[in-house]
Amino acid sequence: MSFQFMDPATLGERLDNGTRTVIVDIRDPNSFAAGNISGSLHLDNENVQAFIEQNNKSQPVVVCCYHGNSSQSAAQFLFEQGFTEVYSLNGGYEQWKVSFPQHCS
């Protein structure tokens, strides 16, 4: 078994419905600061270990990058660390901000 894919519409529904979902953004710090999915956490090599240790591994995690490519390897990594429900966001942040600008910070 492995990570799964999630399209922006499904994530948008989860956010609108208040479904508990952790969103992690693996883009560089400047890109994250310039715009991100509301409520997302910036995840990088410096804080990934703390994230793994401090989060409930049964909680859904959605990994976001620029276009949905790099997030796949990060999602697989989190799955291998024991997270049971991990998704890579199809289209990444670039697709997200077009589809759901109301959910951007």
Catalytically annotated residues? 65
How far is the C-alpha of 9 from the C-alpha of 98, rounded, in Å?
11
Q: By C-alpha distance, which of 39, 95, 102, 92 is closest to 66?
A: 92
Q: Tokens 């883009």 identify what position?
A: 27
CB 77 within 8 A of CB 1: no
